[in-house]
């Protein structure tokens, strides 16, 4: 059975994946879309650009129960896609408090509001609460194996622990109150509008401006990369076809170690900028490794393939170059999202890390 959302709340819609998800929902023709976003250092109105006029944008915090309850009363949501979160592992290592506040308390606030609004005894309307999570909740893999939906949670970073906590709260609201929840666990994303403090946009932005490319440790860690618009498609599938109470893993199958990814990005920047071959690779600098650095994430997507015919449309081979070109062509965006707070974090985080990394 397919669910057709008519009044949809998207949290974190001014962020990287959120803004692609809003575009997906607008393209699907949902009649009412409300975006709730606190516009932290990671959220920017500019990310919504052309679709801003198609949504009701609310600048506010998901931890604000009065605001969230009021929005449910005002808009009679039948669906939620919950993306708002603190998302950067390195920031969670520096300070975890905000991660617990937004990711755990904020998720609880939304679950409470949904449970209350959807508890009316005569309500037989179909509803869905999609909670967007990560493969990092499963912990770290060795060189082989994949995470399935039944892999035990073993989060290692404070970020992953906060996401795991929120996933478990979602599970409890389904089991205890029958809230029609769907949880998605997805691998690392790449694409336009990702804040340049995550691996791919950071390396592109640095290579474009001739700055060093800081690889943690020896760059041997492996990540699986999914294009952000494929992620948005997967969330749409989860919302419209996901079974209440289920969780689904969405991956791309495209694994690569960090050093190979950075070399590939450096070469692509050189290609699109007309630089001499190898110019950006010379910027690679090995820096102190991340504390508790997970070695490898890899997802088994067979459940989503069987349930929805899940198959990503984009590949690194075909789409990474366009992403590099997007950052090259959107210097103004890069400047606008580089707030003082973002710059301060960058400066503090990378200070003293150089020269302490592994050798090539």
- Cα separation, 356 vs 199, in Å, equals 19
Question: Is the Cα dihedral 122, 33, 100, 246 positive or negative?
Answer: positive
- Cα separation, 16 vs 81, in Å, equals 14
Give yes or no for residue 299 binding ligand NAD (CB under 6 A).
no
Residue number, 80 or 259, with CB nearest to ligand TYD: 259
Give yes or no for residue 188 binding ligand NAD (CB under 6 A).
yes
- Cα separation, 90 vs 36, in Å, equals 25
Residue number, 127 or 131, with CB nearest to ligand NAD: 131
Give yes or no for residue 83 binding ligand NAD (CB under 6 A).
yes
Span interacting with ligand TYD, options 23-31, 36-44, 212-220, 328-336, rule CB under 6 A: 212-220
Parallel, antiparallel or unpaired: strands 222-227 and 255-257: antiparallel
Listed in sequence order, the residues at least 6 apart from 11 whose beta carbon sits closer than 8 Å to its beta carbon are 18, 35, 36, 37, 62, 80, 81, 82, 83, 84, 110
Residue 15: contacted member of ligand TYD, ligand NAD, none (CB under 5 to 8 Å, by partner type): ligand NAD
Q: Binding marks (x or -) toward ligand TYD, 89..128, rule CB under 6 A?
A: x---------------------------------------
Give yes or no for residue 221 binding ligand TYD (CB under 6 A).
yes
- Cα separation, 158 vs 167, in Å, equals 14
Give yes or no for residue 42 binding ligand NAD (CB under 6 A).
yes
Give yes or no for residue 215 binding ligand TYD (CB under 6 A).
yes
Cβ neighbours of 342 (radius 10 Å): 15
Binders of ligand NAD among 100-129, rule CB under 6 A? 102, 106
Q: Binding marks (x or -) toward ligand TYD, 277..306, rule CB under 6 A?
A: -------------x----------------
Q: Is residue 110 within 8 Å of 82, Cβ to Cβ?
A: yes
User: How far, rounded to the nearest angstrom, does the alpha carbon of residue 46 sit from its chain's CA centroid?
Assistant: 18
Residue number, 127 or 198, with CB nearest to ligand TYD: 198
Identify the residue among 71, 169, 199, 283 touching ligand TYD (CB under 6 A): 199
Identify the residue among 99, 129, 216, 236 touching ligand TYD (CB under 6 A): 216
Residue 214: contacted member of ligand TYD, ligand NAD, none (CB under 5 to 8 Å, by partner type): ligand TYD
Identify the residue among 24, 44, 146, 198 touching ligand TYD (CB under 6 A): 198
- Cα separation, 308 vs 33, in Å, equals 24
Residue 234: contacted member of ligand NAD, ligand TYD, none (CB under 5 to 8 Å, by partner type): none
Span interacting with ligand NAD, options 85-93, 107-115, 305-313, 314-322, rule CB under 6 A: 85-93
Give yes or no for residue 84 binding ligand NAD (CB under 6 A).
yes
Residue number, 102 or 188, with CB nearest to ligand TYD: 188
Q: Where are the alpha helices (DSSP H) in the chain?
A: 16-28, 65-75, 89-94, 97-99, 107-117, 158-177, 199-208, 228-241, 258-273, 302-308, 316-329, 331-337, 340-350
Strand, helix or coil at 2?
coil
Nearest to 102 by CA among 114, 115, 87, 116: 87
Residues annotated as part of the active site: 135-136, 159
Q: Is residue 34 within 8 Å of 270, Cβ to Cβ?
A: no
Give yes or no for residue 234 binding ligand NAD (CB under 6 A).
no
């Amino acid at each position: 059975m397919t669910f057709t959302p008519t009044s949809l709340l998207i949290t974190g819609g001014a962020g990287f994946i959120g803004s692609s998800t809003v575009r997906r929902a607008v393209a699907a023709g949902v009649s009412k879309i409300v975006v709730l976003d606190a516009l932290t250092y990671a959220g920017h109105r500019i990310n919504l650009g052309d679709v801003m006029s198609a949504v009701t944008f609310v600048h506010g915090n998901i931890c604000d129960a009065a605001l969230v309850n009021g929005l449910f009363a005002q808009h009679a949501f039948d669906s939620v896609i919950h993306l708002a979160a603190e998302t950067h592992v390195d920031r969670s290592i520096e300070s975890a408090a905000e991660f617990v506040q937004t990711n755990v308390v904020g998720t609880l606030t939304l679950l409470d509001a949904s449970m209350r609004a959807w508890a009316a005894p005569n309500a037989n309307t179909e509803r869905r609460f999609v909670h967007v999570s990560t493969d990092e909740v499963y912990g770290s893999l060795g060189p082989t194996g994949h995470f399935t939906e039944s892999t035990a949670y073993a989060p290692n970073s404070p970020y992953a622990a906060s996401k795991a906590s929120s996933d478990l709260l979602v599970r409890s609201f389904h089991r205890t109150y029958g809230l029609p929840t769907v949880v998605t666990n997805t691998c690392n994303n790449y694409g336009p509008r990702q804040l340049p403090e995550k691996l791919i946009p950071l390396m592109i932005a640095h290579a474009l401006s001739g700055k060093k490319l800081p690889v943690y440790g020896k760059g041997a860690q492996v990540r699986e990369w999914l294009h952000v618009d494929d992620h948005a498609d997967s969330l749409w599938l989860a919302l419209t076809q996901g079974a209440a109470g289920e969780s689904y893993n969405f991956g791309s199958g495209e694994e690569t170690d960090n050093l190979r990814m950075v070399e590939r990005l450096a070469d692509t920047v050189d290609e699109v900028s007309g630089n001499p071959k190898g110019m950006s690779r010379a910027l690679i600098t090995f820096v102190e490794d991340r504390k508790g650095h997970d070695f490898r994430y890899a997802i088994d997507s067979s459940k989503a393939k069987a349930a929805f015919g899940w198959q990503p449309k984009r590949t690194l081979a075909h789409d990474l170059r366009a992403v590099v070109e997007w950052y090259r062509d959107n210097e103004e965006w890069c400047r606008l999202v580089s707030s003082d707070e973002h710059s301060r974090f960058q400066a503090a985080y990378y200070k003293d890390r150089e020269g302490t990394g592994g050798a090539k």
